[in-house]
Structure 1
Amino acid sequence: MRTASQEDVCDASCLHPAAVGQAKAALPDERCVEQASAFLKVMADPTRLKILSALSTTELCVCDLAAVVNISESAVSHQLRLLRTGRIVTYRKEGRVAYYRLLDQHVTTMIRNALDHAQE
């Protein structure tokens, strides 16, 4: 039986320069990779993913989000602070109430795709 490390290594020693060149040319710059990695890390938390899923349907205030994901308002506020810092959610104030929503269509698409993929 092969181990995982053996499966990750080519059986034959060959190099495909055209394919390697094409793959290297397609790599994003280091700054972009770091930002995308940070974006994915922020989303990679079950509580935050629930919040993001709820926000993918409509904008919600902190108390409504707390009711949806069944955690305290304080815990929701903490998670929203991380999501705002990560540029994943934004909010608008109406009087004393802040209504949160996903920042843009890219975030909405990422959340839906991740959840669709998990359901397959």
Structure 2
Amino acid sequence: MDICKCISINQSKVDEAKIKLEKNSSLDQTAKFFKILGDGTRFKIITILLDSEMCVCDIATTLNMTHSSISHQLKILRENRVLKNRKDGKIVYYSLNDNHVKNIILQGLEHHNH
């Protein structure tokens, strides 16, 4: 177990870290974003949408889940700007909101595969 056994504090480093935390007002939103990605079902949905858009029926069939459970997860992802949607008649298609999300997922997958 890694335990710091010293009682010496580098005050300048502590002050710098505190300033960094205070300046970054988006820390809580970023943490929420990663929490959203931490759900297995939502992560699978995002992964299958990396390269193309899909409708609820296709996503539900791919994941062998009900439409209502997929719709619930899609709503969470859409509300948190991870996904966007577009309507074509009665069908709603979902895709990643932007390439930032795609890059984060691809980097995470690459990190795990190394």
Q: How does 1:41-52 map to 2 (within 5 A)?
A: 41-52=35-46
| Aligned residues between the structures | 114
Q: Which portions of structure 1, spanning 4 or more consecutive aligned residues, are displaced by more than 3 angstroms?
A: 28-31
Please give the TM-score of this superposition, normalised by the length of structure 1: 0.82
Instruction: Return the offset for 1:40.
Output: 1.4
Unaligned runs of 5+ in 1: none
Please give the TM-score of this superposition, normalised by the length of structure 2: 0.85
Instruction: Return the offset for 1:29.
Output: 4.5
Letter in 2 for 1:55: L
| Pair 1:67 & 2:75 matched | no
Provide Cα deviations, 1:2-35, integer angstroms capped at 9, x if missing partner.
xx4xx2x422222223333333333264741221
Instruction: Return the offset for 1:103.
Output: 0.9
The 1:28–1:114 alpha-carbon spacing in structure 2 relative to 1, beyond 3 Å, is farther
Aligned-CA RMSD value: 1.9
Question: 1, 9, 21: which one pairs with 1:15?
Answer: 9
Aligned to 2:34: 40
| Pair 1:27 & 2:21 matched | yes
Unaligned runs of 5+ in 2: none
Aligned to 2:92: 98
The farther-off stretch of 47-56 and 33-42 is 33-42
Instruction: Return the offset for 1:79.
Output: 0.7
The farther-off stretch of 87-96 and 24-33 is 24-33
